[in-house]
Amino acid sequence: MEAIVQAAHNAAFANMGQVCNAGSRTYVHEDIYDQFVQKSVELAKKRVIGDPFDKSTQAGPQVLRVQEMQLTRLAYKCVYFAHACTGAQRST
């Protein structure tokens, strides 16, 4: 399960939304869905967002304003699910 969750996480976050090849959908069988979501949330919560010059940072700022806007729209589509699972809020 950990390898599957890690692969889905990598597919979604590897390019930080700056390239048009992110894995935006993961199909999960209903028998393992809850476990998959729980482990995915745990992994996403560990993701370090911040200064791109800090070696511990896994996601920095977006290069283009248009890309930021596209990612913001995508995030809003997921806001109910994300908030329910993580309590996450948009960082400033």
User: Tens of pLDDT along 19-70?
Assistant: 666 677 888 999 999 999 889 888 888 888 788 788 888 777 767 777 778 7
The answer to whether residue 91 sits within a structural domain is: no
pLDDT at 73 over 70: yes
Of residues 52 and 80, which shows the higher confidence score? 52
Q: According to the model, what pLDDT value does residue 81 have?
A: 66
Residue 40, classified by CB atoms within 10 Å of its CB into exposed (0-12), middle (13-18) or buried (19+), is: buried
The answer to whether residue 37 sits within a structural domain is: yes
The answer to whether residue 14 sits within a structural domain is: yes
The answer to whether residue 12 sits within a structural domain is: yes
Number of H helices, E strands in the chain: 4, 0
pLDDT at 12 over 70: yes
pLDDT at 92 over 60: no
* CATH number of domain containing 75: 3.40.309.10
Q: According to the model, what pLDDT value does residue 16 have?
A: 66
Q: According to the model, what pLDDT value does residue 44 have?
A: 82
